[in-house]
Amino acid sequence: MKLEYILKDIEIILLSGPEDVEIKGLEYDSRNVKEGDLLVCINGANVNGHKFIESAKAKGAVAFVIEEDVQKDDKLTYIKVKNTNEVISTLGRNFYENPSEKIELIGVTGTNGKTSVASFLKDILSQDEKCGFIGTIGIFDGKNDYLNKNTTPNNIEIQKSIDKMIKNNCRYCTMEVSSHALALKRVENLKYKIGIFTNLTEDHLDFHKTFENYRKAKESLFYMTTSANIINIDDVNGRIILDNIKTLKVPYYTYGINYDATFRAKDVELYEDKTVFSLLGPNDFERKVTLDMVGQFTVYNCLAVICACYVLNMDVNEIVNRISKLKGVNGRFEKVENDKSIHVFVDYAHTPDALDNVLKSIKTFARRRIITVFGCGGNREKEKRHLMGKIAQEYSDLAIITSDNPRYEEPNEIIKDILVGINKEKENYIVIVDRKDAIKEAIYTAKEGDIILIAGKGHENYQIIKGEIVEFDDKLVAKEILDSLNE
Ligand SMILES: CC(=O)N[C@H]1[C@@H](OP(=O)(O)OP(=O)(O)OC[C@H]2O[C@@H](n3ccc(=O)[nH]c3=O)[C@H](O)[C@@H]2O)O[C@H](CO)[C@@H](O)[C@@H]1O[C@H](C)C(=O)N[C@@H](C)C(=O)N[C@H](CCC(=O)O)C(=O)O
Ligand SMILES: Nc1ncnc2c1ncn2[C@@H]1O[C@H](COP(=O)(O)OP(=O)(O)OP(=O)(O)O)[C@@H](O)[C@H]1O
Ligand SMILES: N[C@H](CCC[C@H](N)C(=O)O)C(=O)O
Ligand SMILES: [Mg+2]
């Protein structure tokens, strides 16, 4: 595509070098640059992207969008703007020709449940037409799966992925929209058909500073939608957001258990291996639903999905038929099968609220002891650590405190923060720094009928220690230890 077209609507301070350039690709990371690409240089939190101009040149970059003065090469093009991060979404929109308007984009935001809701929705919609996916567990472009470093990637990555989805004949794309992405303008210039709100509890205050900012970031998704906003009104923040967006032209739909909503679940029954409730919907719809998944939060996630499918004009009975067949999501309350009569679950709960929810659900069906293995990630919000310690101890017969992606922090220092929330007079907790040893201890001490929850890492197949990524998969580790009991 001609450079001129890519620069449409961009406020340029200075353009130097050839103007009539053909651009083959758009990149924000020098490591991915190919011959003929344009590199957008971002002065980031860790490094200054302008530093990589020389290496991008060596790889064949022909143009650079910059915000600082750099050493120039006469044969190449430099476009200086005020803030590169702020123009990136317009560059992406121009280069990929407004991809979000050519697909039915559904965004899911909230503290917990984004991956679950976006994945369930993709599973259901894909039964009729192709659906792409962007979220924590990866990107699906209609043909291939890719790993994804962020829950919601950089804007160029998003628009490039949606463009691929369109080329691969996807009608829909479901995507998780994190609060970081909303605050950092990673989703600007995208049009969402539907926006879904799951819930809001304290998280990421290291980044947003105040809860109000955090809520506002989440709320901004609902001003980017064209067809519908779907809100969980059992959540107090959902009700606040609803009040704020009620006057918008875009219609809103609600879901919940405790309040009268567009879709409401009544008489919820939680079991070890299933969940049952009565679904109430528009036009006096009422039907009993049995889910092949466990936990009260699963009911909320399914209500959000039901509501979105309804907005997409699917027959409610058909939605329920499909929901009843869902099996869950990778690393979300996933059972590790074994023949020891110990119930081992791997779950991605890595926030106080998620841990509280998952343990509360387990409590409702636990017949014997609950053993919880968990830790807290390094270089992330410290405030959550003591809260998670308190919650794990409160609901568990044994809480095993261990490591979860210490990143650049000292594992023992993270554990110290968790221990602040632990009542030392009780003897129902131990510290085992090595995660594999912690899982081993849980399995070795478990007796028939006990439940082990291994929380925090879910689908992750790595540990980040001192910035290095080391192979580690809770499910595989647990399975290996369980199998070794037979030897
Ligand atoms: C604070 C934050 O959000 N940082 C994100 C941001 O990094 P940054 O702009 O500061 O990047 P940087 O590493 O300083 O590099 C600057 C520039 O140089 C480029 N570069 C870098 C190295 C190189 O060799 N060549 C090169 O060109 C980089 O691509 C970048 O364009 O842009 C990067 C690329 O898009 C993101 O990967 C990175 O997310 C980091 C990894 C991160 O941890 N983010 C978390 C806080 C986050 O965003 N989390 C939310 C979800 C959280 C949740 O819901 O639980 C998410 O959406 O993932
Ligand atoms: N609706 C919900 N409410 C509360 N907790 C939930 C809900 N859905 C899932 N959980 C719990 O939170 C964990 C994370 O779920 P999920 O991955 O769907 O959330 P997420 O919002 O995508 O998280 P992330 O911000 O890390 O991407 C699950 O493993 C489960 O324990
Ligand atoms: N999207 C979240 C995931 C946290 C997962 C947990 N295992 C951890 O490393 O803290 C983050 O990067 O903050
Ligand atoms: Mg997620």
Report in angstroms the alpha-carbon separations of 157 from 17, 135, 186: 27, 12, 10
The pTM of the full predicted model, rounded to 2 decimals, is 0.88
Query: What are the boundaries of each domain within the chain?
Result: 3-95, 99-324, 334-484
Assign 265 to helix, strand or coil: strand
Residue type, 86: E
The b-or-e profile of 357-368 (16+ CB within 10 A means b, else e) is bbbbbbeebbee
Q: Report pLDDT for 328.
A: 83
Q: Report pLDDT for 217.
A: 82
Q: Which residues in the chain land under pLDDT 50?
A: none
What ranges in 186-337 are assigned the alpha helix state H? Answer: 205-208, 211-219, 236-245, 296-311, 316-324
**226 CB contacts (<8 Å, ≥6 apart)?**
191, 192, 193, 250
**pLDDT tens-digit series, residues 272-299:** 778 999 999 999 999 999 998 888 889 9
**pLDDT tens-digit series, residues 32-59:** 999 999 999 999 988 999 999 999 999 9
Ligand 3 close to Cβ of residue 441 (< 6 A):
no
Ligand 2 close to Cβ of residue 458 (< 6 A):
yes
CATH superfamily to which 3-95 belongs = MurE/MurF, N-terminal domain (3.40.1390.10)
| Residue numbers belonging to the annotated binding site for ATP | 110-116
What ranges in 113-185 are assigned the alpha helix state H? Answer: 114-125, 155-167, 179-183
CA angle 122, 125, 126 (to 5 degrees): 80
Residues 258, 235: Cα–Cα separation, whole Å? 10
Predicted ipTM of the assembly: 0.93
Tell me the residues surrounding ligand 4 (ion) with CB < 5 Å.
114-115, 136, 151, 176
Q: Which residues contact ligand 1 via a Cβ below 6 A? A: 28-31, 42, 44-47, 49, 52, 149-152, 154, 178, 180-181, 184
Residues 75, 395: Cα–Cα separation, whole Å? 66
Residue type, 330: N
Q: Report pLDDT for 240.
A: 94
Under a CB-based contact definition with an 8 Å cutoff, are residues 81 and 67 in contact?
yes
Query: What is the end-to-end Cα distance of the chain in Å, rounded?
Result: 62
Ligand 3 close to Cβ of residue 377 (< 6 A):
yes
Assign 206 to helix, strand or coil: helix
> Which of 27, 29, 186 has most ligand 1 atoms within 8 Å of its beta carbon, as the pocket-test mutant?
29
CATH superfamily to which 334-484 belongs = Mur ligase, C-terminal domain (3.90.190.20)
CATH superfamily to which 99-324 belongs = Mur-like, catalytic domain (3.40.1190.10)
Give the dihedral sign, CA 23/24/26/29: negative
